Amino acid sequence: MADNPSFRRHPHPFSIDLVRWLPSSATSPSDRLLAAAVHDPSVASSYIHLLPLADPSSPLASLPLPSRATALRCSPSALAATTSTGSLHLAPSSSFDAGAAVAVSGGAGFHVGPVRGLDCGGEEWVTAGEDGRVHVIGGGGDGRVVARRVWDGKGMAGYEAAKWASPAEFATGGAGCGVQWWDQRKGDAPVTQCSGIWGHGLVTGMVHSIDIHPSRKHICVVGGSSGTIFAWDLRWPQQPIPLSGIGLHGIVQPVCESEVWEVLFDTYTQSSDIISSTSARILPVMICSEDGILAVVEQGDERPLELLAEPCAINSFDIDTQNPSDVVCALEWESIGVLTRGRDAMAEE
Amino acid sequence: MPGMPTDGGGAMVPFSGEPGQASPAPPPVRHIRHCVAPPISRVFISWSSGNLLQVACLRQPSSEGRGGVEEVGGRVVEVNLGAGGCGGVEVDEEIDAAEIRRIEYGSVPAFALLQSRKNALTEAAAMSHAPSLSEHAEWWQYVLEYSKTIGNLLGNPDSPPAFTLEDPKTILKVGEKPTSLRAAWELLEMFFVDKQLQGWLPECLVDWLDDFDSLLSKESTVYSNLSSFQKKLIKLQIVEDDPDYWNGLAAALSVGWLDIVFSLYFHQTENGLVEAVAVLVSTMPRMRPDLPSGKLGQCCKTRPDFIKVLYKTEVSYLYLQAWEKWRGQVNKLECSAFWIQCGHRKTRDGLKKLLHILMGNVKELTAATSHWLELFVSHFLYIRPFTVGFEGMHHLAQKCIELKPSSGTNGLTDLLVGILSENPEVVLAECTNNFGPWFVTHAMELLTADNDYADMMLHEERPKFGGISIEELHRIVYAQVLCSHSLTWQVSFCLKSCNFGHLIRVCEQTLEICRLYELENVSTNIMKISGIYHWKHGRKGDGVYWFQQAHDKVRLDRIAQQLFERIGKSVTDDSFKQWEGLLELLGSDIGSAGGLEFLHRYVFLPANSCLFMAFGFTFFPITFWYRDFKRSLQQAQEGRTGEAARQTAEFLIQVELLNCKPKPLLNVAETTLLLNKLQELSLAKLHPDFSSNHLPSHALNTVRLALASNLARAILEE
């Protein structure tokens, strides 16, 4: 648990539920911005804060939310958040204030209950909620947003994650339903699905997060309960590939044993096996977990690269797309962590 | 009867004070806006997360509708019962709740590390019959390391501010605001843990006072006098004419703030006497091994190995020599002829006062200091630099309190007196009263570091507390404080009853705690509760998921029954699509806990025949489907009843699926047999006694067609 010198914690006086890098045109690294979903239980208020990386303790602007944020995503043009009461809030990145934000309120017409699946795919946003509904939200042409219901599972399945693969395709995941692939060109129903591969000898688990690499749109990487991380290749949909939890010989120590909250392809870590890194190989994946692990896992690699082992849960993290060496994470104990991976460390590998 | 509202005054439960108390304080009354029209028939109260109380007010369900006006049948209101955090009276004033939480979070790793080291040492001691924990050489160093980590967490008074403008008129240093928690922690560390400090305790107190003097009292301390003089200093032209200048100098000198004495000194006109006093001040021998940079005085320069071996005698001897020599110089100056030459009376009197302080004049020291603790420290500096024993210090403290009775007490001074009286019970009580549960829980480790009596006192099992020790009692109190806040509840070391008012991933967090502590039956219960919660809120998929995780066979069976009753009633393509997620869950081969196994019981019910058709083949694991199919085929082969044939046909209703497979599912003989049975069935249908509305004729035709195509493919294959 040695403290990494390139890791800084910034304490806040409230819970940090989610954190993301904002895409910015800033040339100087210190001018970069973070977006954080915060919640203060003492006054039961929730906000999205816009924070400068140079001093993440003092917000530049904040957007009030009706309830606790359950998902937060940034696109080049907007910042979106969904809440535990089923609403969606979109704020244009150009003017981050309550006046310019657009909201789709929760309820029978949209989502009922928490919405954890949220992603931006070009022009449209997708939301997938615990109520089993899937919506695609786009501009109505006149500044309004229009939500179209793709699917209503009526609570029979609950969704926890959503990720676009292309402007027409996206993946969702949740409790029991594993991962599902949707293609809007083929109608409003899942095209194919995969129940996943779970640790501890379990047959079913809950998907918490999905990521799809922009250059390999046929591969989803999935993080879920019981420390499960697996990849799902659409070309072999019946054979998910375990990345953690189940070793080749069944005795490998998994990266973590608790909930894997988020997964992201790590564009910074070079694959350890460059020669054989054909399109079949899964690229390195970064994960964060309830037991405080931030690590990079690779297919077939028995020793994952552990970046952080915190005494508290890491609820959320994000890799800066412009500077992939920089990672920001939301720690359970009311703080934001900023990790800078040095070039030297990588040269050694 | 609880829960029944009384008519008078609106009070739910009559409140009466504790028996024996004359006039109990009135209970705090909170008004709840529930907006439910009276009469309210029932009120439920339950704790939610943190300090939230959930109050549900329900009306009597009215039997007749009131002309279409929808009335609220009841409402749940959440009441926030004030801010949580530390219970310490003094602490709340200077540190806000978020800061306390930051300390609570930050102290967990250090505390956990110390506990694991303690366990390891205890285990090793048990194995090898080694001495007890406090006799271990490394142990106090572990505790010291822990103490330093926690101390840094409580604020660092030595940390310089980001920018310092060198203002000659600024005499008091500007640093981080000192906190009582840090001050109290340092006191405990100094007296109970750090063995290296044992010879230098008086000087440690001098340093401590330098950092925390402002906390002793708001009105009368050397610090407050100097800070008010600092404001005045800006306007003064000739400082030595002002009596406050000399009083300030005397005060700073009496508590040993020599750097402040010097920064004040530069403001006056130079003369020989002024310089001579300055030299004496700067060469004052200090009973300490080193001095931080910027501090004045002469410390005992000894070789490092000296301190270890000949620590008591040699160092004291060296110090004594230096002290005698310096005192001689002070006395010489006092008697010198220069005083007559000094024309400025105020300067002369002021310098004399300083000199008397250096000579240890009790009257001057008492006059110069404001608080008894300052007087106490000045005694160490100028009168009794060798008083290191606790007993001597305690006597001195009592004497100083008598001399300065007006200074009053606060948590810090009470704590110090408790420490000097060598009474761990008093120390613990002062910590509890003044610094809150967090402090006590973490400070107990310091008390027991090298004190066998405290160790015994804290760890002894007390029948009065239900068999737990004082240490455990304080830890439980602290855990309760943590639990009472929704952000810190997971920090609590003791797993206490968790509630499920806010299921924002609370379930997973709780399960994680169960996993770490191997509390499997607790986690099973939590999963069940979570399943019921989701099911009740219409998230059936999530509900089934959690029941499966909990291996709750009873509830899954109930769910299965509901599921099939519902499917039996109405079957449309769309409604089945909605069941997809659930079926995926139920369809997984999960073993004994709620897979599709229960379907076997329903498979031959007529209502379910269409189930397969509607669900489509893909949702059923082939093994399951095929096994039952074969069994039914066998029955058909035995050909006992027309009923068997009917059942077979029901299965075959989805044999369209045979077409989906590239390979024929049945061989030639089986297909022929089935075709025959199908023929029998269609003939039986014509019989007037046959009653089955589940086999539409078009379905039979489909089956026949599918079987025919399967037969063709089977023949080709053979």
**Domain-by-domain residue ranges, chain B?**
1-62+70-82, 96-152, 166-413, 622-717
Contact B541 A193 (CB under 8 A): no
Does the CA dihedral B661-B667-B672-B674 come out positive or negative? negative
List of chain A residues whose C-beta atoms are within 8 Å of the C-beta of residue B98: 12-14, 334
User: Could you tell me where the DSSP H helices lie in B448-519?
Assistant: 452-459, 470-483, 506-517
Q: Measure the CA–CA gap between B424 and A335, rounded to whole angstroms.
A: 36
Q: pLDDT digit string (tens) for A68-121?
A: 999 999 988 889 999 999 999 998 877 777 677 888 988 888 998 899 999 998
Look at residue A20 in the predicted model and tell me its pLDDT. Answer: 94
| Residue A65 contacts residue A83 (beta carbons within 8 Å) | yes
Angle between helices B372-382 and B345-358 (to 10 degrees): 80
List of chain B residues whose C-beta atoms are within 8 Å of the C-beta of residue A174: 541, 581
Look at residue B219 in the predicted model and tell me its pLDDT. Answer: 74
Closest partner CB to B578 (pick from A114, A153, A290): A153
Assign B672 to helix, strand or coil: helix
Closest partner CB to B504 (pick from A68, A131, A202): A68
B657 to chain A, minimum CA–CA distance in Å? Answer: 18
Structure tokens at B1: 């009867």
Contact A156 B582 (CB under 8 A): yes
B439 to chain A, minimum CA–CA distance in Å? Answer: 19
List of chain B residues whose C-beta atoms are within 8 Å of the C-beta of residue A41: 49-50, 485-487
Give the least confident one: A13-17, A169-173, A260-264, B691-695: B691-695
CB atoms within 10 A of CB B27: 10
How would you class B481 by CB atoms within 10 Å of its CB: exposed for 0-12, middle for 13-18, buried for 19 or more?
buried
Contact B582 A11 (CB under 8 A): no
Q: pLDDT digit string (tens) for A175-191?
A: 867 899 999 898 888 88
| Residue A210 contacts residue A162 (beta carbons within 8 Å) | yes
Look at residue B488 in the predicted model and tell me its pLDDT. Answer: 72
| Residue B639 contacts residue B599 (beta carbons within 8 Å) | no
- DSSP secondary structure letters along B30-72: ------PPSPEEEEEEEE-STTEEEEEEEEPPPSS--TT----
| Residue B533 contacts residue B545 (beta carbons within 8 Å) | no
Q: Does residue A274 surpass a pLDDT of 70?
A: no
B96 touches chain A (CB under 8 A): yes
Look at residue B609 in the predicted model and tell me its pLDDT. Answer: 39
Mean pLDDT score, A122-140: 88
Question: How many Cα atoms within 13 Å fall on the side-chain side of residue B169?
Answer: 11
Structure tokens at A244: 């953690």
Mutate to test the interface with A, among B48, B100, B542 (most CBs of A within 10 A): B542
| Residue B41 contacts residue B57 (beta carbons within 8 Å) | no
Q: Is the peptide bond before B38 cis (omega within 30 degrees of 0)?
A: no
Contact B508 A158 (CB under 8 A): no
Sequence-distant (6+) residues with CB within 8 A of B60 are B39, B41
Q: Measure the CA–CA gap between B650 and B612, rounded to whole angstroms.
A: 9
Q: Measure the CA–CA gap between A218 and A197, rounded to whole angstroms.
A: 18
Mean pLDDT of chain A: 83
Closest partner CB to A195 (pick from B490, B540, B584): B584
Look at residue B60 in the predicted model and tell me its pLDDT. Answer: 76
| Residue B519 contacts residue B528 (beta carbons within 8 Å) | no
B98 touches chain A (CB under 8 A): yes
List of chain B residues whose C-beta atoms are within 8 Å of the C-beta of residue A70: 504
Look at residue B699 in the predicted model and tell me its pLDDT. Answer: 65
Q: Measure the CA–CA gap between A45 and A67, rounded to whole angstroms.
A: 7
Amino acid at B518: E
Closest partner CB to B580 (pick from A70, A157, A225): A157
List of chain A residues whose C-beta atoms are within 8 Å of the C-beta of residue B99: 13
Sequence-distant (6+) residues with CB within 8 A of B594 are B544, B547, B548, B551, B552, B553, B556, B557, B559, B560, B586
List of chain B residues whose C-beta atoms are within 8 Å of the C-beta of residue A190: 580
Amino acid at B312: K
Closest partner CB to B539 (pick from A68, A130, A225): A130
Low-confidence ranges of chain B (pLDDT < 50): 1-12, 65, 67-68, 83-92, 161-165, 305-306, 309, 493-504, 571, 588-625, 654-660
- Residue carrying structure tokens 């080291």: B117
The reply to whether ipTM tops 0.90 is no
Give the residue from B456, B427, B459, B422 showing the smallest Cα distance to B443. B427
